[in-house]
Amino acid sequence: MKIQNYINGKFVNPIQDNWIDNYNPSNGKIYSQTPNSSKDDVENAYQAAAKAFPKWSNSSLEERSKILSKIAELILEKIDFLAAAESKDNGKPISLAKQVDIPRAASNFQFYANAITQFSTESHESVGLNAINFTLRQPIGVVGCISPWNLPLYLFTWKIAPAIAAGNCVVAKPSEVTPMTAFLLGEICNEAGLPKGVLNIVHGLGTTTGQAIIEHTKIKAISFTGGTKTGAHIAKIAAPMFKKISLELGGKNPNIIFADCDYNKMLATTVRASFANQGQICLCGSRILVEEKIYEKFKTDFSKKVAELKVGNPLDEDSNLGALVSKEHLEKVKSYIDSAEKEDAKIIFGGKKVVVKGAENGYYLQPTIIEVTDNKCKLNQEEIFGPVVTLISFKTDKEALTLANDTKYGLAAMIWTNNLNRTMQFSKQLQTGIVWVNTWLLRDLRTPFGGIKNSGVGREGGFEALRFFTEPKNVCIVYE
Ligand code: NDP
Instruction: State residue 169's pLDDT score.
Output: 99
Give the per-residue pLDDT at 163: 99
What is the tens place of the pLDDT at every residue in 241-286? 999 999 999 999 999 999 999 999 999 999 999 999 999 999 999 9
pLDDT tens readout for residues 321-358: 999 999 999 999 999 999 999 999 999 999 999 999 99
Q: At residue 440, what is the residue type?
A: W
pLDDT in tens, the chain (480 residues): 999 999 999 999 999 999 999 999 999 999 999 999 999 999 999 999 999 999 999 999 999 999 999 999 999 999 999 999 999 999 999 999 999 999 999 999 999 999 999 999 999 999 999 999 999 999 999 999 999 999 999 999 999 999 999 999 999 999 999 999 999 999 999 999 999 999 999 999 999 999 999 999 999 999 999 999 999 999 999 999 999 999 999 999 999 999 999 999 999 999 999 999 999 999 999 999 999 999 999 999 999 999 999 999 999 999 999 999 999 999 999 999 999 999 999 999 999 999 999 999 999 999 999 999 999 999 999 999 999 999 999 999 999 999 999 999 999 999 999 999 999 999 999 999 999 999 999 999 999 999 999 999 999 999 999 999 999 999 999 999
Among 175, 326, 449, which residue has the most ligand 1 atoms within 8 Å of its CB, making it the best to mutate?
175
Protein residue closest via CA to atom 13 of ligand 1:
206
- How close is the Cα of 172 to the center of ligand 1, in Å? 13
Whether this model's pTM surpasses 0.85: yes
Could you tell me the distance, in angstroms and rounded to a whole number, from the CA of residue 73 to the centre of ligand 1? Answer: 28
Q: Among the atoms of ligand 1, which is closest to the Cα of residue 233? A: 18
Name the closest-CA residue to atom 15, ligand 1. Answer: 206
Known active-site residue 248: yes
Q: Which of 199, 184, 245 is nearest to 68 (CA)?
A: 199
Q: Is 13 in the pocket of ligand 1 (CB under 6 A)?
A: no
What is the per-residue pLDDT across 400-455, written as a single tens digit (0 to 9) for each?
A: 999 999 999 999 999 999 999 999 999 999 999 999 999 999 999 999 999 999 99
Strand duo 142-146 + 221-225: pairing: parallel
Distance 100 CA to ligand 1 centre (A): 20
| 282 in catalytic set | yes
